[in-house]
Amino acid sequence: MPAKVKKQKFTMLFDWFDQGGDGLLTQDDFRAMGDLFSGLAGEDDRENASAMREAFEEWWRVLLAHGDADGDGRISRKEFLDVMEVNVTAPEHFGSAVLAIADALMRALDTNGDGELSQDEYVRMYSALGIPPEHSGDAFRRLDRDGNGAISHEEFRAAITEFYLSTDENAPGNWLIGPIE
């Protein structure tokens, strides 16, 4: 069951990242994701917008260097699932690719600067990233681990880490982009 949970999450992620809808990941897909995420930053927030774009570029470099088994400059679903498990989630890459996006996203979404995401800020993120909004309320409740009505930076990082690293099918972080299917 544990391997199945991660495969389900990474399959959802692949489908989300495949912005071109062609069943392959390309640098253009990752640039589109970088643009999608950086669009959540305010016009004057170039630092976080740039950090998100750069982190998606780093993620793409890791995928290409470690996952492009056939050398065609594209990542298939199988290549993605393999590289996510072995390389992207490895400590030497996880921080610079995945957590860098999470940290910049958190700073950009925290519009009032209180170090937390309100439910409104979280729902806005869900909608802007193209994640089905019907799941945002449930996800918010699960990720707000202390029940204070906000998701702290620590809770957000914990959710990101659980989504990518946990094999527990009941981990709250699994709801990061909606329920695992």
pLDDT per residue, tens digit, the chain (181 aa), is 467 888 888 998 999 999 999 999 999 999 999 999 898 888 888 998 899 899 899 889 989 999 999 999 999 999 999 998 888 788 888 888 788 888 888 888 887 888 899 988 888 888 888 887 788 888 899 999 999 999 999 999 999 999 888 888 889 998 888 787 7
Q: What torsion do the CA atoms of 85, 23, 105, 68 make, to the nearest 10 degrees?
A: 50
- Record the tokens describing residue 56, joined without a space: 């998606």
Return the DSSP state at 149.
S
Would you state the pLDDT for residue 40? 86
Q: Which whole-number Å values give the CA distances from 172 to 1, 38, 56, 94, in the listed order?
A: 17, 25, 24, 19
pLDDT of residue 1: 46
Q: DSSP letters along 100-127, please? A: HHHHHHHHHH-TT-SSEE-HHHHHHHHH
Q: What is the reported pLDDT for 5?
A: 84
- Coil, strand, or helix at residue 18? coil
Q: What is the pLDDT of residue 85?
A: 80
- pLDDT at residue 68 in the model: 95
Give residue 138's pLDDT: 87
Instruction: Please name the residue that has the structure tokens 């498990």.
Output: 85
Q: How high is the pLDDT of residue 2? A: 63
Q: Please tell me the distance from the alpha carbon of residue 61 to that of residue 44, in angstroms, as a whole number.
A: 28
- Helices 27-38 and 2-17 pack at an angle, to 10 degrees, of 80
* CATH code linked to domain 2-175: 1.10.238.10
